[in-house]
Amino acid sequence: MNARTDKITLVRKQDQVFASFADGRPEVPVKLIWLRPFTGRGEYLSVLDSGGKEIAMFKNLDCLDPNSRKIAEEEIRRRYFIPRILKVQRTFVCFGRRYWDVETDHGPRRFVMRSPVRNAVWVTDDRLILIDTAGNCYEIESFAALDRRSQIEARRML
């Protein structure tokens, strides 16, 4: 690992997370990311400075002190918020864009996707992540578990 947990703690100031260093270096604003966001969530958390340079890496959130862990969990939850698609109501294509009208675990959503080759990531043979034109992600946790009509609508877009 790049850092020991007794040398770095996370602190929140308003809506920004900072890394605080035990050796007296000034606090720096940071961003937290999973190194493998789709397949390896829960392992290897990278702490990046504002320039995108890694300043610390932790095997998992258990490596953090309780307060830092709470801050990390909140940030990760915000950063990787991915609504699960429960039902595909309607889809259509217009000028090469794919329009989706879906029901998610967080209510109805409408989004636009560009290319299924680039913006549909099969995590497993049955689990799919869709990325819209704004960079938001949507998950189909189990394609096989979708109702028949939803499967037909989704296949038309993929």
Tell whether pTM > 0.85.
no
Per-residue pLDDT of the chain (158 residues; tens, 9 = 90+): 444 445 889 999 988 999 998 888 899 999 998 887 655 566 788 899 989 999 988 888 888 999 999 999 998 888 878 899 999 999 999 999 999 999 999 999 999 999 999 999 998 999 999 999 988 899 999 999 999 999 999 999 99
Question: How far apart, in whole angstroms, are the C-alpha atoms of residue 78 and residue 11?
Answer: 16
Residues 97 and 113 sit within 8 Å (Cβ to Cβ): yes
Domain boundaries, the chain: 8-79, 85-157
**DSSP conformation class of 57:** E
Return the closest-CA partner of residue 84 out of 129, 116, 151.
129
